[in-house]
Amino acid sequence: MPSSQGVIVLGMHRSGTSVLTRGLQSLGVFLGDEFLSTRPDNPTGYWEDRVIVGLNERLLGQFGLNWEGISLIGDAQWQSAGVQALQDEAIERLQSYFIPHALWSFKDPRTIRLLPFWRAVFRRLDVDDRYVLAIRNPLSIAKSLLRRQAMDAATSHMISLVYLVPYLHEIAARPFVVVDYDLLVAEPREQLARVQRALGLPFGEAAEIERFTTGFLDPRLRHTYAGFDDFDTIPYVSPLIREAYVWLSQLATDQLPTDSPAFWTAWKRIRTAAEALIASRTAPVTGEAAPRATRNEGAESGLPETCKNTSQPGHHEFSFSDRNLFDGTGVRLFVVIGAQRAGANLLREILNSHEQLAMLGEILSPSSAPAHWQNFLKGQAPGIFPPSSPRETEALLDRYFDYVLYRIRNYWLGADKSRCRAIGVDIKYYQLRRLAPAEWNRGTTPFLLSYLRSRGATLIHATRRNVIQCALSALIAAQGNLWHNYEGAVVDRRFAVAPETCLEYARTIVRDRDAFLDSAKGCKVVESCYEDLTGQLAGAAAGGELPDAPGPLRDIAQALGVPFGFRCDGRIRGAINVPYSELLSNLEELSAALKESEFSVLATTLS
């Protein structure tokens, strides 16, 4: 018989796993004390063991993923040597720190994505593993992620599907209980009692329960709430994540037992549909090598031997090979960097009207476009990303941009780009830290910026002076699922934007902008201000030609070494040109909040 019982907390990020874990402590469950530090987005603590979190992050890295990654993990990948080595580390951590206690728990939202790994660990240790699954309305999760990091709702819903659906069946035969975060906040004692009954736990001392319910739990920290009726008001919610939440809610309210045949039959159908949807959006991470066709064929690592790295792990200043990325081709690299809705899409359409320039959209966002990063990785050896060292990472990026140039020169639709003199890509602020080697100190300059500086890339900083309008544009786009202002796009309703959500989004833009400018010192930076760019468009000739006048387009042409030759080709014509005073149903409330904020000077710009 197992002598150690582990209660593992599962759940999507921002779904109440931290509160639930602290509640388990009041029942006498050992959590340890080596936790991650608190942060503003979770001031009462994460209650996450540092070692477990670090191990899970490295495990995701084995599959080329981070916590936001939405690719499926192939069965063969769980058997790789790197995964097996991490399994040994997990066993050592549990044996030395948790298992000496008869009743213990750990939580990390990543765990639910990695259940095949952890179930194998528990079997090897003969642990009596039991589970608590935290759920929350996916609309509330999306709002919380929007507040924390300006993540759009569609991405949030896809991540929720990836977390909740593929591996829940792993615990079907184990004792588990589902707890809804909103019910936990509303009736903490009753929900703790449900957990105690379902998992056979001691109920804990009355003083500890009281300390949790009246001292720790603060309903004011729940900044967002959504009910079932709210699904009918949001048109862009994935039907699958809605259905998954509805079924889980029946377990959380004891309408169905956890061994309900009706639940598991429905869940099998949801899982099949969700995996098909995820696979259609991203490249599955498999254990099989895919064929490769690149100009640089390296040695054993598959990477070209062109790099001269002299770095030490964790340092952010090291000697790259320091060359022009496209030596001998006469082509330059440029990268447009900025916030969502800061004009990058408009700028891309204008730059692509120039016969010597070519620019791709958001290469780090899910897309079917072959030259986007996720699709490029399909053609690389499994496990190649993330590389462990800066040297390997810069070599992989060199290979990627070589591939981008190849695709542009040979497969550009609608124009001949075989003689283009500069190619560019679009990367958002929040994506800058994604392409980093395992050894990189993430508290320093983003690796990607160091790489671009070493390759002599020109950074075009897409800005928008009116950060409130930038924030509103992103929030309305998310609500209406309307991200591109192409001709024929229509806004057929009004939108309510919570003032605090708008203000926090604007503050995020300002913080990200300032952080970028500080990190980009030493890079070639050209500013493309949205307001100035649209001002230049106003001077377009009848045929669409843009005048060679002072402004961001002239600066960009000079920086990239091409003659001025831009036009507004009609693909974007301000199809949506509705004043915010007509778009917003709560204009007065929002204006009043702006007047009391640090953005008060922008309050009058809504009309």
In this prediction, residue 289 has a pLDDT band, given cuts at 50, 70 and 90, of: very low
Q: Span 269-275, mean pLDDT? A: 90
pLDDT class of 326 with cuts at 50, 70, 90 = confident
Residue written as tokens 């009309």?
A: 607
Specify the amino acid at residue 23.
G
**321 band by pLDDT with thresholds 50, 70 and 90:** very low
Task: Provide CB contacts within 8 A for 192, sequence distance 6+.
Answer: 23, 26, 27, 203, 204, 209, 212
Query: What confidence category does residue 232 fall into, taking pLDDT thresholds of 50, 70 and 90?
Result: low
Q: To 5 degrees, how large is the angle CA 162–CA 117–CA 292?
A: 70
Instruction: Give 35's strand partners.
Output: 49
Confidence of residue 297 (pLDDT cuts 50, 70, 90): very low
Tell me the pLDDT tens digit for each residue of 433-452. 888 887 777 668 899 999 99
The reported pLDDT for the residue numbered 205 is 80
Percent of the chain with pLDDT over 90: 50
By three-state DSSP, how is residue 502 classified? helix
Least confident of 99-103, 252-256, 347-351, 414-418: 414-418
- pLDDT class for 607, splitting at 50, 70, 90? confident
| Alpha-carbon span 191 to 278, nearest angstrom | 33
Task: For 178-209, give one letter per residue: b (16+ CB within 10 A) or e.
Answer: bbbbbbbbeebeebbebbbebbebebbeeeeb
Helices 153-164 and 138-149 pack at an angle, to 10 degrees, of 120
Q: How far from chain centre, in Å, is Cα 469?
A: 23
Q: Coil, strand, or helix at residue 30?
A: strand
Residue 221 has pLDDT above 60, yes or no: no
Asked if residues 474 and 449 have their Cβ atoms less than 8 Å apart, the reply is no
Looking at residue 143, its pLDDT comes to 82
Answer yes or no: is pLDDT of 338 > 50. yes
Range from 236-240, 267-271, 381-385 carrying the lowest mean pLDDT: 236-240
Residue 278 is predicted with a pLDDT of 82
- Percent of the chain's residues with pLDDT above 70: 82
Task: Cis check for the bond before 386: say yes or no (omega within 30 of 0).
Answer: yes
- Measured N-to-C along each axis, helices 499-519 and 138-149 cross at an angle, to the nearest 10 degrees, of 40
pLDDT of residue 169: 96
Strand pairing category for 422-428 and 357-362 = parallel
Alpha carbon distance, N-terminus to C-terminus of the chain: 70
State the helix-helix crossing angle for 467-480 and 499-519, rounded to 10 degrees. 120
List phi, psi (to 5°) of 118: -70, -35
* Residue 406: CB atoms within 10 Å: 14
Note the pTM of the prediction, 2 decimals: 0.53
Phi, psi of 177 (to 5 degrees): -140, 145
What is the arithmetic mean of pLDDT over 357-369? Answer: 88
pLDDT for the residue 168: 97
Strands 524-529 and 458-463: parallel
Higher pLDDT, 386 or 564: 564
CA distance 94 to 117: 14
Distances (CA, A) of 337 to 334, 369, 425, 429, 469: 10, 20, 9, 6, 18
Q: In what order do the strands lie in the sheet with 103-107?
A: 103-107, 5-11, 128-135, 176-180
pLDDT band for 3, please (50, 70, 90 cuts): low
Q: What average pLDDT does range 336-361 have in this prediction?
A: 93
pLDDT(560) > 90: yes
Q: Which two tokens stand for residue 423?
A: 């190619």
User: C-alpha distances in angstroms, 256 versus 9, 130, 260?
Assistant: 20, 19, 6
Inform me whether the pLDDT recorded for 583 exceeds 80.
Answer: yes
Q: What is the pLDDT of residue 316?
A: 34
Q: For the residues 274-285, what does the mean pLDDT come to?
A: 69
Per-residue model confidence (pLDDT) at position 336: 98
Top-confidence residue, 527 or 318: 527
Alpha-carbon distance 378 to 401, whole Å?
A: 15
Residue 153: pLDDT over 90: no
The 10 Å Cβ neighbour count of residue 96 is 10
Q: Which of 30-39, 244-253, 290-299, 346-355 has the lowest mean pLDDT?
A: 290-299
**Structural domains of the chain, ranges and CATH numbers in brackets:** 5-281 (3.40.50), 332-606 (3.40.50)
Cross-strand partners of 359: 424
Calculate the CA 448 to chain-centre distance: 16
Whether the pLDDT of residue 294 is over 60: the answer is no
Question: Parallel, antiparallel, or unpaired for β 5-11 and 524-529?
Answer: unpaired
Mean pLDDT of the chain: 83
For residue 562, the surrounding DSSP H or E stretch is: none
More confident residue, 82 or 220: 82
| Mean pLDDT of all residues in 186-208 | 89
Please spell the DSSP secondary structure of 296-345, one letter per residue.
---STTSS-S-------TT-S--------TTTTTT-EEEEEEE-TTSSHH
> Per-residue confidence at 237, pLDDT binned at 50, 70, 90?
low
At 19-70, the pLDDT tens digits run 999 999 999 999 988 876 544 444 454 578 999 999 999 999 888 888 888 8
Task: Please give the DSSP secondary-structure letter assigned to residue 495.
Answer: B
What is the CA 79 to chain-centroid distance, rounded? 26
Question: What DSSP line would sit under 43-101, residue for residue?
Answer: TT----BHHHHHHHHHHHHHTT--TT----B-GGGGGSHHHHHHHHHHHHHIIIIITTS
3-state secondary structure of 265: helix
φ/ψ of residue 249, rounded to 5: -65, -30
pLDDT of residue 315: 31
Q: What phi and psi, each to the nearest 5 degrees, are found at residue 526?
A: -120, 135
The answer to whether 423 and 325 are in contact (CB under 8 A) is no
d(CA 346, CA 348): 5
